[in-house]
Chains A and B, each alone.
Chain A
Amino acid sequence: MDRSRRIVLKGAGATGALAAALAAGLLRPGVAAAAWNKAAFDAKTTADAMKALGYAGAVESKDIQIRAPEIAENGAVVPIDITSNIPGTTSISVFIEKNPFPYTGTFDVSQGALPFVHLRAKIGESSPVRVVVTAGGKHFTAAKEVKVTIGGCGG
């Protein structure tokens, strides 16, 4: 195990991973400065948020890989890996369907970067994690269910 790597990144704080990704030029800095889509962030359903983002009618795709635990160990910070295998991917958006405000955010992917993102999201109750990938101006979607439980009582 690389202890120094761990210490350096811990020192960088909670946003370390994202900051590192930005510094490496994998994500366009525009992600932070992009126009705030208030309607999308305020939407109370995934359908409304997707409409506000112009994603209505996104097509189900098997080329989006979502890795998340079957059952969350801690609903406050659920690790989620997303890989898009769709050529020409330009953005990856995440929605936690059962959260009060499902839209979590969008990662813009600069040309040539691998369309892979890792994030930690709060998931209040068992919910599908829905992903929308934009590629060549078209929208594709996939979802994976994450269970959130009170815990205890195992075996």
Chain B
Amino acid sequence: MNRREFLEVLAAGAAAGLALDAPEAHAQGDADALYRFPKFGNVALLHFTDCHAQLLPVYFREPSVNIGVGAAAGRPPHLVGEHLLKAFGIKPGTREAHAFTFLAFERAARTYGKVGGFAHLATLVKRLRADRPGALLLDGGDTWQGSGLALWTKGADMIAACRLLGVDVMTGHWEFTYGEKRVKAAVESELGQIEFVAQNVKTADFGDPVFKPAATRTVNGVPVAIIGQAFPYTPIANPRHFIPDWTMGIQEEALQKHVEAARAGGAQVVVLLSHNGMDVDLKLASRVRGIDAILGGHTHDGVPQPTIVKNAGGQTLVTNAGSNTKFLGVLDLDVQGGKVADFRYRLLPVFANLLPADPEMDALVKRLRAPHEAKLGEKLATTEGLLYRRGNFNGTFDQLILDAMLEVKGAEIAFSPGFRWGTTILPGGAITLEHVLDQTAITYPQCTLSDLTGERIKEVLEDVCDNLFNPDPYLQQGGDMVRVGGLTFACAPAAKIGSRISDLRLRGKPLDPGRTYKVAGWAPVAEGAQGEPIWEVVVRYLKDRKTIAPRKLNLPRLEGVAGNPGLA
């Protein structure tokens, strides 16, 4: 029996419910199997996205609910659990199965350990670059937001870490929530070698470009153009008042012109570094000609292999590289005769136990954290259950936030936004201030209490649900459904706006469209909203309890999606 066969037997045993063997004994073998693979071609692009300011290794549970409707039903990225493993030929019970799915999450997380962390990512980047001279490192954005440290330093910690990591080009989304001035200052004088590109951010008055649309680099003698695509709906999904003079949108026509300009300028490889979200990228790839690959983010989908989309100009690869520094995408291109002849792609899970920390990055992260370490590490409570966020409708950490809002604000109903960032805590783990901020650290954290009529509440749910399940990806915003506390309802994702949400009930009684209810929420997009930061509400709730019992998820009763492979 060779090593591979042995690992397969081990995997089969694990799938059959047997205990996983002591993993440290196989760590070297696992590391080799994952990270030692032959180089291919002559142009290598390394890609991470949506790291959400996670400098240290974390646990991150992938979703068990990620429903696709219309043309998106049953195709990547809308596959979860065993459906995903089957589609990509990943063996159940393996390290990779753990990386890409929620299956047996707690047990596998204890076996394989934490993922990501900039020091471990740095080691992987250095190894790959040693094999692939000239490889470019691309950051898809949502880099400066997602932790207490990043919020307190307005992203300066992440800028320092990304400079040291050797990021070449980035684009953005949550970066913009620090406001126009902060972003401009960073781009003009703090990013060092990093070029910030976004073809679809324009001034609201004359449509002048705010950032460079694209960066060009020569890799092994091959001219490569990287066009940036910021999250097109930032002024809608996040507060517009932070960026009042900027307008975004998908801007297909402008993109087509940039692609043609890049080709005319000699680019043999044209890549879109995109924060559109995977569904939007798939549609865009079918309509815009001449892009070799869209390296995508925003929707946090860890998709093992690219989707190949045919279009009038040939074909475009579409990838999505997960979140929280859990993955590094490696796209090896073989460029011959002025065009891409072939490719290899891997989405490498970054297992902290398999990749020693890079000493230089480790030292930087420690130095950045040192002034705040004691505050971040304050232990607020212990959780008895698994706390996570990802999923279309709710996560246990969101439920905890909802429960805290209902109690602390004295609300009948609570809403928590369907963000996709936020790390995971294993049962028995301490909940620190850092964990709470991992779920809540934004520049508009106000927790509000409002009077809403039953009719308005239904409208809000319908509106958000359409942003998730509209069959036209260009009309989606890439977040998950608003999490709802106190109120039960039914949801039919494949229905039309106005008829997806039904049977709204509060404590078993139908919601009265004409009555007014006390509704708590946070992250208001309107300017001037007042309220204490959401993390203070959650901290108070945690400190009052000390021990957090497993949360009971308030989930809508789903209609019309039985058998959907986006549903575990």
Which chain A residue has the least Cβ–Cβ distance from B208?
A1
B-side contacts of A69, CB under 8 Å: 249
A5, chain B: closest CB distance, angstroms: 7
Residues of A with C-beta under 8 A to B298: 155
Interface flag for B427 (CB, 8 Å): no
Please give the distance in Å from B245's CB to the nearest CB on chain A.
Answer: 10
Task: From the candidates A70, A71, A147, A150, name the one contacting B460 in the complex (CB within 8 A).
Answer: A150
Q: B525 contacts which chain A residues (CB < 8 A)?
A: 151-152
Interface contact A73-B236, CB-CB below 8 Å: yes
A117 to B474, CA, bound (A): 25
Stretch of B124-132, B355-363, B416-424 with 4 or more beta carbons under 8 angstroms from chain A: B416-424
B233 at the interface (CB under 8 A from A): yes
Q: Known interface pairs A70-B250, A155-B477. Does A150 touch B464 (Cβ–Cβ under 8 Å)?
A: yes
Restricting to A46-76, which residues have a CB under 8 Å from any CB of B?
67, 69-74
B248 and A152 contact, CB distance less than 8 A:
no
CA distance A57 to B95 in the complex (A): 64
Could you tell me the distance between the alpha carbons of A9 and B205 in the complex, rounded to whole angstroms?
A: 10
- Whether the Cβ atoms of B466 and A149 lie closer than 8 Å is yes
A6 at the interface (CB under 8 A from B): yes
The residue of chain B having its C-beta at the shortest distance from the C-beta of A145 within the complex is B475
- Tell me how far the C-beta of B153 lies from the nearest C-beta in chain A, rounded to whole angstroms: 22
The answer to whether B474 and A151 have CB atoms under 8 Å apart is no
Which interface class (under 10, 10 to 19, 20 to 34, 35 or more) fits A? 20 to 34
Q: Give A67 to B252 CA distance when docked, in angstroms.
A: 11
The number of inter-chain residue pairs (CB within 8 angstroms) is 88
B203 beta carbon closer than 8 Å to chain A: yes
Which listed residue, A1, A70, A152, touches B474 by the CB 8 Å rule?
Answer: A70
- The B contact surface, by secondary structure, is loop
Question: What separation, in Å, do the CA atoms of A149 and B477 have in the docked complex?
Answer: 10
- Taking the complex as formed, is B279 at the interface, i.e. its CB lies under 8 A from any CB of chain A? no
Q: Mark A86-130 against chain B: 1 for CB-CB distance below 8 A, else 0.
A: 000000000000000000000000000000000000000010000
Residues of B contacting A152 in the complex (Cβ-Cβ under 8 angstroms): 237-238, 417, 464, 523-525
Is residue A153 contacting chain B, with contact meaning CB distance below 8 A?
Answer: yes
Nearest CB to that of B207 among chain A residues?
Answer: A79
A71-B236, A73-B235 are known contacts. Are A153 and B203 too (CB-CB below 8 A)? no
Question: How far, in angstroms, from A73 to B238 measured CA to CA in the complex?
Answer: 10
Residue of A nearest to B444 (CB): A152
- Taking CB as reference atom, which chain A residue is nearest B473? A70
Docked-complex contact A149 and B467, CB < 8 angstroms? yes
**How does the 8 Å CB contact mask read for B247-263 relative to A, with 1 for contact and 0 for none?**
11110010000000000
Docked complex Cα distance between A56 and B247 (Å): 36
Across the A-B interface, give the 5 residue pairs with the lowest CB-CB distance, nearest first. A154-B237, A73-B235, A154-B477, A153-B417, A154-B479
Interface of A with B (CB < 8 Å)?
A: 1-2, 5-6, 9-10, 67, 69-74, 79, 126, 147, 149-155
The 14 sampled A-B contact pairs (Cβ below 8 Å) are: A1-B206, A6-B206, A9-B205, A67-B253, A70-B475, A73-B235, A73-B249, A79-B247, A151-B525, A153-B482, A154-B231, A155-B142, A155-B231, A155-B477
